[in-house]
């Protein structure tokens, strides 16, 4: 057995070597980076696919003339420069008239090395531009990051660890990838950055909207969720806790290639949810407090219809992945709180579930999540793409949830062959694929959960869940992206790509589709799953008649499942003659 001081020395040497390797990589990446063309000090970024330079300016500059000094670095080896036919020096004032997103300015120059005449374009945007320079794969690699913001006269250069992120979006044949960025300082230590006035942190996500025919569904519906969801059960202790991530849109370059519109967002983590940190004592023993897990894939554990033993020495349990404490830093972990909740859902009797579910789950948050995923037909969010969190398991073991990856919503499927498959994402499809927590809440109606959900839904329909309100979220975002030219650039870069099953990007057509889809969907829910409850109306058609009697008889003859709450009129969790008699009595007005 090695003495402890030897183990510590080896660990220190390993960390020193790792830091030295990162520092060398940072130095190499830095030395390879230059800013060959600037306009008034603002970096212009070159897209080698279209021979276009893109420069970020303030939004108020659009519609106005822009006079700036054009500076060309000697590394370009240019001479005889003209813009729109006007001859310039390599360091001249130039006026770009009436800057607009749909306006290009034509640059010509002679390459003194080859003698060729170059024909380029210059365009402007008011979206932030991120340029990543490096190699990218499934592991973190040190990368040079250049950030150009509309309210800053010069770009900011920094370093970061960057990797691909996602599951199906990260398959080998996919092209417009998602990225996870962790910023570093010059000493290769993590460095916090603030974007869009949001949180100051080193960890950020670049969301590609890879399969989305409008590119913005995830961002728009997440913002809807943040606007409608209640605060978690521990809000009195942490009023700033958020059950979703915030962000905004940028334009991304990868190694001098334009890569399109991305949402730069916060990461979903302990910091976002304001969970209590794990405590480690002087002996290295961990005391767990806040815990965070992600339902990553659909299986019996994430559906909560099965339970089996977990292994605290693994960072996964079925389709669950540990997110906090970070398993790379704290292992073994602790699944006990989540396990007890899932076992409760999977194995408890009907009566026990009804009487105790509020001890295990943050029901006001769960209720709004139930409403949201039904309203927008979130076909990929009933059991997976949910973060489950406990604030401090030593104080209260109740779980709350945070929403994630809301891209397969409002008529969008995870494949686009065809792009709007009515059989799967049509506006009159009844959402299925729930975990058993949501199913049992709907079937058993504990503490009038479903009746309260209808009341909550109908209140939200007056504002946040009106068809006009949701549609305007999409329309306003797209109009903003159009005005700076980002929509046209996105179409040029990605239309007909295999990520989209070869379909053409048409943002106007997609907006029209969403407008129609929302009108039909919300009317369908108004008259169906969220229609006001009338006792005895078991087929939910607004009347109590012979059809309801037939419905109960069919349930008695053809179904072994326990009834949903509006069919079980005597609340004994079976469909039988007692429920039939109850309907007849209601019809005869005997009760």
In order of 125, 134, 187, the CA distances from 249 in angstroms are: 12, 22, 29
Report how far residue 389's alpha carbon sits from residue 399's, in angstroms, rounded to the nearest whole number: 5
Count of Cβ atoms closer than 10 Å to residue 462 Cβ: 9
Is the distance from CB of 106 to CB of 52 less than 8 angstroms? no
Given a cut of 70, whether residue 239 has pLDDT beyond it is yes
pTM of the model: 0.91
Given a cut of 60, whether residue 7 has pLDDT beyond it is no
Tokens of 524: 């369908």
Is the distance from CB of 452 to CB of 367 less than 8 angstroms? yes
Contacts of 409 (CB under 8 A, 6+ apart): 217, 221, 376, 377, 378, 379, 381
pLDDT at 565: 87
Strands 52-56 and 117-125: parallel
Count of Cβ atoms closer than 10 Å to residue 59 Cβ: 14
Q: How confident is the model at residue 590 (pLDDT cuts 50, 70, 90)?
A: low
pLDDT at 165: 92
pLDDT at 30: 39
In 3D, which of 140, 236, 151, 128 has the Cα closest to residue 179? 140
Is the distance from CB of 78 to CB of 109 less than 8 angstroms? yes
Tokens of 139: 């592991």
Burial class (CB in 10 A: 0-12, 13-18, 19+), 279: exposed
Per this entry, what is the length of the chain?
Answer: 591
Contacts of 125 (CB under 8 A, 6+ apart): 54, 55, 56, 57, 101, 251, 484, 485, 486
- pLDDT tens-place string over residues 136-187: 999 999 999 999 999 998 999 999 999 999 888 888 889 999 999 999 988 8
Report residue 452 CA to chain centroid gap. 28
What SS3 class is residue 556?
A: helix
Q: How confident is the model at residue 26 (pLDDT cuts 50, 70, 90)?
A: very low
Percent of the chain with pLDDT over 70: 93
Report residue 202 CA to chain centroid gap. 18
Report how far residue 131's alpha carbon sits from residue 144's, in angstroms, rounded to the nearest whole number: 8
As a whole number, the mean pLDDT across the chain is 92
pLDDT at 572: 86
- pLDDT tens-place string over residues 206-230: 999 999 999 999 999 999 999 999 9
Report how far residue 360's alpha carbon sits from residue 388's, in angstroms, rounded to the nearest whole number: 12
Describe the strand order of the beta sheet including 42-47 as a list of residue ranges.
Answer: 86-88, 78-83, 105-111, 117-125, 52-56, 42-47, 37-39, 66-72, 91-96
562 compared with 417, residue with greater pLDDT = 417
Tokens of 560: 């072994």
Q: What architecture does CATH give domain 37-125? A: Sandwich (2.60)
Phi-psi region of 273 (alpha: psi -120 to 50; beta: other; left: phi over 0): alpha
Is the distance from CB of 26 to CB of 184 less than 8 angstroms? yes
* DSSP code string of 219-276: HHHHHHHHHHSPPPTTTTT-TT--SS--EEEEEEEESS-EEEEEEEEE--SHHHHTPP
- pLDDT tens-place string over residues 476-524: 999 999 999 999 999 999 999 999 999 999 999 999 999 999 999 999 9
Domain extents for the chain? Answer: 37-125, 274-457, 546-587
Alpha helix ranges (H) inside 361-506: 363-375, 422-425, 436-444, 449-460, 467-483, 486-494
Burial of 511-532, coded b for 16+ CB within 10 Å and e otherwise, reads bebbbebbeebbebbeeebbbe
- pLDDT tens-place string over residues 536-547: 998 888 889 999
């Amino acid at each position: 057995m090695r003495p402890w001081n030897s183990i510590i020395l080896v660990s220190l040497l390993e960390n020193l070597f790792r830091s030295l390797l990162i520092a060398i990589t940072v130095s190499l990446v830095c030395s390879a980076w230059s800013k060959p063309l600037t306009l008034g000090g603002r970096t212009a970024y070159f897209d080698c696919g279209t021979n276009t330079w893109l420069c970020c300016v303030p939004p108020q500059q659009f519609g106005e003339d822009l006079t700036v000094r054009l500076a060309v670095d000697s590394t370009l080896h240019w001479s005889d420069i003209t813009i729109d036919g006007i001859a310039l020096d390599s360091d001249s004032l130039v006026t770009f008239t009436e800057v607009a997103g749909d306006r290009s300015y034509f640059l010509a120059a002679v390459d003194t090395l080859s003698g060729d005449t170059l024909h380029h374009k210059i365009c402007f945007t008011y979206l932030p531009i991120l340029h990543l320079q490096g190699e990218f794969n499934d592991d973190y690699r040190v990368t040079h990051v250049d950030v150009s913001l509309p309210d800053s006269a010069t770009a900011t250069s920094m370093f970061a660890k960057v990797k691909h992120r996602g599951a199906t979006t990260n398959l080998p044949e996919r092209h417009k990838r998602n990225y996870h960025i962790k910023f570093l300082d010059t000493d290769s230590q993590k460095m916090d950055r603030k974007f869009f006035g949001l949180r100051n942190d080193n960890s950020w996500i670049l969301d590609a909207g890879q399969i989305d025919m409008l590119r913005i569904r995830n961002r728009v519906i997440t913002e809807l969720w943040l606007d409608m969801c209640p605060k978690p059960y521990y809000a009195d202790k942490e009023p700033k806790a958020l059950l979703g991530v915030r962000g905004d849109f940028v334009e991304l370059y990868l190694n001098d290639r334009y890569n399109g519109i991305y949402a730069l967002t916060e990461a979903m983590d302990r910091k976002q949810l304001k969970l209590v940190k794990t405590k480690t004592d002087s002996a290295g023993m961990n005391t767990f407090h806040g815990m965070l897990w992600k339902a990553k894939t659909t299986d019996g554990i994430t559906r909560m219809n099965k339970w089996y033993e977990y292994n605290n020495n693994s960072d996964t349990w079925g389709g669950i992945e540990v997110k906090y404490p970070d398993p790379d830093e704290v292992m073994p972990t602790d699944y006990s709180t989540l396990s007890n909740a899932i076992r409760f859902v999977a194995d408890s009797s009907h009566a026990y579930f009804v009487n105790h579910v509020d001890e295990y789950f943050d029901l006001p948050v769960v209720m709004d999540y139930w409403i949201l995923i039904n309203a927008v037909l979130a076909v990929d969010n009933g059991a997976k793409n949910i973060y489950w969190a406990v604030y401090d398991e030593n104080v209260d073991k109740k779980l709350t949830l945070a929403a994630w990856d809301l891209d397969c919503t409002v008529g969008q499927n995870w494949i686009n062959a065809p792009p709007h498959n009515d059989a799967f994402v049509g506006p009159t499809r009844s959402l299925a694929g729930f975990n058993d927590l949501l199913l049992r809440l709907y079937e058993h109606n504990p503490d009038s959960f479903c009746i309260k959900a209808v009341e909550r839904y109908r209140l939200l329909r007056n504002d946040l869940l009106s068809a006009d309100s949701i549609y305007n979220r999409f329309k306003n975002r797209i109009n903003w992206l159009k005005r700076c030219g980002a929509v046209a650039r996105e179409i040029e870069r990605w239309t007909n790509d295999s990520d989209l099953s070869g379909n053409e990007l048409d943002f106007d057509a997609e907006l029209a589709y969403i407008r129609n889809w929302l009108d039909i969907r919300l009317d369908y829910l108004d008259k169906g799953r969220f229609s006001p409850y009338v006792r005895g109306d078991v087929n939910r058609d607004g009347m109590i008649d012979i059809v309801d009697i037939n419905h109960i008889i069919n349930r008695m003859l053809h179904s072994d499942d326990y009834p949903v709450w509006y069919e079980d009129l005597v609340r004994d969790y079976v469909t039988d003659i007692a429920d039939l008699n109850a309907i007849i009595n209601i019809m005869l007005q005997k009760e």
